[in-house]
Amino acid sequence: MVSNQNKTPLFDALKAYQERNVIPFDVPGHKHGVGLKEFGEFVGNKVLQIDVNSMKPLDNLNNPIGVIKEAEDLAAEAYWADHSFFLVNGTTSGVQAMIMSVCEPGDKIIMPRNAHKSAINGLILSGAIPVYIQPEINERLGIAMGVSIEDVEKAIARNFDAKAIFLINPTYYGATSDIKSIVKIAHKYGMAVLVDEAHGAHFRFNDELPYDAIELGADMCAVSMHKTGGSLTQSSLLLIKEGLVDEKTVRTVLSLTQTTSASYLLMASLDIARKTLAIHGQELLSETLRLARKAREKINEIDGLYAFGKELIGTPGVFNFDETKLGINVSELGLTGFEVYNILRDEYNIQVEMGDVFNILALISFGDSDESVNALVEALKDISKKYRKDNFKIRFDKISVLENPELIVSPRQAFYSRKKIVKLEEAEGEISGESIMVYPPGIPIVIPGERISKDMIDYIVMLKKQNSSLQGTEDPEVDYIKVLGQ
């Protein structure tokens, strides 16, 4: 990496501002923490002294010409992109900006049905029409993987007029598709390739990890630096390659939804995280991989557990695999992933990323250590002994909910249509006016405009019984759902 990746222009400017002891008569109203003393005593006064507003020495995110622009350019260089945009509304804002930058109302976009809710909301905002590709399913694990080249080619053959293809790199559990080949096919037909790389911010910086999407030729890529890159929660990057995408258009679109009061804490953390990855990423991520491999090896010695990994490469929907995603199948314990998730948190003080019907997911990063990994392994050993249910097996009979639902009207049209409220159990055959999803991971079970099936209802009822965190409906209990009609 070139030498100027050692620079942190925005962070340096923020430190210089703090050292000047400026007398503030601007927002925020806490005035360097004086008006928020209890919070300052807990987090430290310097944190509040650099929670400031845009000004000439610190630049402005909505029209960067100074230190923010310099920091964004360094990020673009680190990721081999032509342009980079700092995001303080999370990768959600980046995903929405990608779709809105290339799709007008009525334009088609090809995408996997296991896309994050931010992509579905991008459809509502843009008015684009989704053409869904069914992701490959690993039936043993009960999870969706990547998409096949053959399914992408079929979708293109039926929709030559699509404006873009939307991909995920990697999936929540670490699987990647053959993005390089898909990019080549898409570009042959003039389609832009947009990639949700929320869980792949680290890919670029270690040669044992899968390739990042920009390096593989994608046109736009939204990257959650806060997830795997080390920055503060809610801070992300949007990367673009020029050609099918125009940098000025993207910036204009971002200005529609991104705040005009961008947090300098978040932006400075992006500046530092980029430097850390660019300068030390290879060694830090090699250690991360060592910890992840150690955890897999030890967990796979525990009766009833299967920590899946690179052995999945070559199976349907798995072109490559991110080993830092520690997915653990728990079904042979006779427990659901939801149950193990709760036991780890409540009994062992360990918070994993998520649980589903069959698995839990732990994320290993360069913030981990042998001690933290050992604590997880020992807790899982104990759970296997104390909580295992002999003579009980979870039946794999709910995979149909992952099949592509029937889209009746566009998500945007459904969102703005008149609606009525019905009981969830009585909604079969109705056209949904809301989304329902489990968070995490935030992949919708049903979205506005889709016909509600019995499988969907049964799956949602099962999730409710597991006390899963369901979101999307106005009814917080998800006993009722809005559907189209009067």
pLDDT digits (tens, 9 = 90+) for 183-240: 999 999 999 999 999 999 999 999 999 999 999 999 999 999 999 999 999 999 999 9
The pLDDT of residue 133 is above 60: yes
Q: Is residue 297 part of a domain?
A: yes
Give the type of residue at 290.
Answer: R
Q: Is residue 216 part of a domain?
A: no
355 and 288, same domain (yes or no)? yes
Residue 101's pLDDT is 96
Instruction: Please tell me the total count of domains within the chain.
Output: 2
Q: Residue 366 sits in a domain of what CATH number?
A: 3.90.1150.150
464 and 434, same domain (yes or no)? yes
Q: Is residue 131 part of a domain?
A: no
CA distance 186 to 402: 25
363 and 418, same domain (yes or no)? no
380 and 419, same domain (yes or no)? no
410 and 379, same domain (yes or no)? no
323 and 382, same domain (yes or no)? yes
The pLDDT of residue 467 is above 80: no
pLDDT higher for 280 or 471? 280
Evaluate whether 2 touches 275 at the Cβ level (below 8 Å): no
Q: Identify the domain boundary among 354, 386, 418.
A: 386
366 and 416, same domain (yes or no)? no
Q: Identify the domain boundary among 386, 417, 449.
A: 386
374 and 422, same domain (yes or no)? no
Q: Is residue 464 part of a domain?
A: yes
Q: Is residue 107 part of a domain?
A: no
Q: Is residue 396 part of a domain?
A: no
Residue 393's pLDDT is 53
Residue 1's pLDDT is 42
Residue 399's pLDDT is 41
Domain span including residue 320: 282-386
Q: Is residue 330 part of a domain?
A: yes
Q: Is residue 342 part of a domain?
A: yes
**What pTM does this model have?**
0.92
290 and 328, same domain (yes or no)? yes
Q: Identify the domain boundary among 386, 415, 442.
A: 386
Q: For 152-163, what is each residue's pLDDT tens digit?
A: 999 999 999 999
Q: Residue 466 sits in a domain of what CATH number?
A: 3.90.100.10
358 and 423, same domain (yes or no)? no
CA distance 441 to 115: 10
297 and 367, same domain (yes or no)? yes
